[in-house]
Amino acid sequence: MRPRTFLLMACLAVLSACSAIKLGYNNSASIAHTYLTSKVDFDSDQSTFLKTSLNEIVEWHRNAELPVLANELQTARQALAARDGVVRPVSAEQVQALNLSIRASLRRTANEAAPIIAKNMLGLWPNQIQDIQQALDKSNVEYREERLMQNNDQRVRESTERMSKRFERWLGTLNPVQVKQIEAWARTETNRAESRYEKRLARQQQFMALVSKAANRQIDQAALSREIARLLNAWQSPATAAEIEESEQRQKATIALIVNVLNSATAEQRNNAADRAAGWAKDFQILASNS
């Protein structure tokens, strides 16, 4: 469990299958509540306030962000669709524009959620600190086993498989050229696995320091909210020149991969992706209208 997922991302994740989005989103607060209460032994008042807070975050996101995301998906649909069987090239600029829009949405959501998370954290008690640390430790063991315990060739294979599955949800079965493109990306990406894990641990330590201050009433709500917002957005805001360079390289490599895979797609694959984007956009519009 990463710090930014403590209350935020758990409640905002939607299921990957298009037909399940509305069900998953409408129940996301309950799902997140069940998940979090399985990790920490909250008392009755804490549990009730947590559920209220999760519902508040989801309803804000439904009203403020879903319409924005729906519009972005409609734009993506236009770029993805093959007209009369003709595949039009997708540019890095188009992919970057979508990337920046999603990042802006995540930043707005983090900033909105931070004060709500702070209120919940200030309701913690010192004896609950260990529950949260144990949840992080368990998550780190699982992360290491999945991402760091294999040799480099195994890491590349599994990273390729994970990314291939993401593309297949949109495009359908990939062709050999696309698989090779993903494998080349994975060989570079896996070289950064250790440094990403170190950053993960560092941010968890910062998060647990805030948990301790909150549980022991050593920080006020305004200061805690600012620190939580900073942590939630830390993955978008590298702190050093080296981190900025690495982040830019990763973004550039991932954008290049998306462009290459899309431009190696058949008309059928591109229309599959366009249909998926249209379906998500429609579901987001319906969800927003049901507020």
For residue 4, what pLDDT band results from cuts at 50, 70 and 90?
A: very low
Of the chain, the percentage scoring pLDDT greater than 70 comes to 93
Contact 272, 178 (CB under 8 A): no
Quick one: pLDDT at residue 291? 63
Give the dihedral sign, CA 72/78/79/82.
positive
Q: Tokens 């600029």 identify what position?
A: 93
- Say if residue 18's pLDDT is above 60: no
Check pLDDT > 90 for residue 22.
Answer: no
Residue 20's pLDDT band (cuts 50, 70, 90) = low
Is it the case that residue 109 has pLDDT exceeding 90?
Answer: yes
Rounded mean pLDDT of 214-218?
98
Question: Phi/psi at 54 (nearest 5 deg)?
Answer: -65, -45
- Per-residue pLDDT tens over the stretch 59-95: 999 999 999 999 999 999 999 999 888 999 999 999 9
Whole-angstrom Cα distance, residue 258 to residue 69?
19
* pLDDT given at position 23: 77
Q: What is the residue type of 61?
A: H
